[in-house]
Structure 1
Amino acid sequence: MLDEAEDERDDAAPIDMLEEYYAAHGWTHSRDDDEIVAKVKGSWAEYELRAIWRDDDSVLQFLAFPDVRVADERRAAIYETIGLVNEQLWIGHFELWSSSGILLYRHAAMIDSDEEATMSLAQAELLIESAIDECERFYPVFQFVLWGGKSPKDAIAAALIETQGEA
């Protein structure tokens, strides 16, 4: 989490706030008027984070790409896996783009706007960190199915074991 003094800054337009957040973390990013793309290194992979602002609808579409491509012959197993994984999510969802076989996490946030839509630093942090956390949490599940030959249920059981106590 960023320091509390930074959290007290004024709100900013959604893409502006995301850009500030990425810059504060030193993450490589590029920006157009209504879209921003960043790269962040996770435990399992480098994630591409993409946000697209739709001013007409006041919706921020947030996508996280965990660098997983699914071959045609593995799609049925991954679709089953996505269904089981999505049952465990409170916000956002995983999906598979049928045209390219790219796996991604997607979440849309409606940004309340009486006059001009703004996003707080806390909102930006929650959106970004929850997407990264879900990608990190479920990346091994998808890999177990794709490369380990496990069934979707077995992959979830193997990847999501709860640890008890402290080491």
Structure 2
Amino acid sequence: MTSMMLDEADLEPEREAPLEMLESYFLAHGWTCERHDEEITATIKGSWTEYELRALFREEDGVLQFLAFPDVKVTEDRRPAIWETLALVNEQLWLGHFELWSSSGILLYRNATLVDSIDDEPSLSLTAAELMIETAIDECERFYPVFQFVLWGGKTPAEAIAAAMVETHGEA
């Protein structure tokens, strides 16, 4: 995980309505965010690109859907290579998945979670919010180079994953 985890004193209370919790989290990090009805968006700067984070809450289902857009658009001619890349990348994910919106060619990370209700009010814990947000950012950061190698570097999906996933050990 990234080093963005908050100290308990940085954010109160420990449980809130889902979108309120996410808004509190975004604001505590100083991220620009906007709220509209059952949706909230935020923009953050990552190591590779800017990410749009978007959450939608469907109270009738008790589901919070979280999306991260890593500013990657795939042209029609590159889609077969990206679909193969997505299959290989998604095998490595524990939470969420990457997908490509066929109508627009936009690449995104998506995760959803069931939201608990306390006294018939939906609520999300700080721990759950952190896990959802930080996992999305971490996976986008981890796999952004893979997508770029396939789209712009002329590598096959397997070559791109091998090149981007080299883990370093120790410190220089």
TM-score, length-normalised on structure 1?
0.97
Matched, 1:99 2:103: yes
Aligned residues: 167
CA distance in 2, matches of 1:59, 1:160: 32
Equivalent residue for 2:112, pick from 108, 119, 124: 108
Q: Which residue of 1 aligns with 2:128?
A: 123
CA RMSD of aligned residues (A): 1.1
1:152: which partner in 2?
157
What letter matches 1:117 in structure 2?
P
1:7 is displaced (CA, Å) by: 5.5
| 1:57 match: secondary structure | coil
Name 1:54's counterpart in structure 2: 58
- Counterpart of 1:27 in structure 2 is 31
- CA deviations over 1:19-61 (Å, ceiling 9, x no partner): 0011111111100121000000000000000000000000000
Q: How does 1:5-84 map to 2 (within 5 A)?
A: 5-6=9-10, 9-84=13-88
Deviation at 1:164?
A: 2.3
Give the deviation of 1:6 after TM superposition: 3.7
Once superposed, which parts of structure 1, at least 4 consecutive aligned residues long, lie more than 4 Å away? none
* Farther off after superposition, 10-19 or 72-81: 10-19
Q: What is the DSSP-based 3-state SS (H/G/I as helix, E as strand, rest coil) of the residue aligned with 2:123?
A: coil
Give the structure with the larger strand fraction.
2
Q: TM-score, normalised by structure 2?
A: 0.94
* Structure 1 unaligned regions, length at least 5: none
| Structure-1 separation of matches of 2:66 and 2:12 | 24
> Deviation digits for residues 109-153 of structure 1, max 9, x if unmatched?
111225111011121111101100000000000000000000000
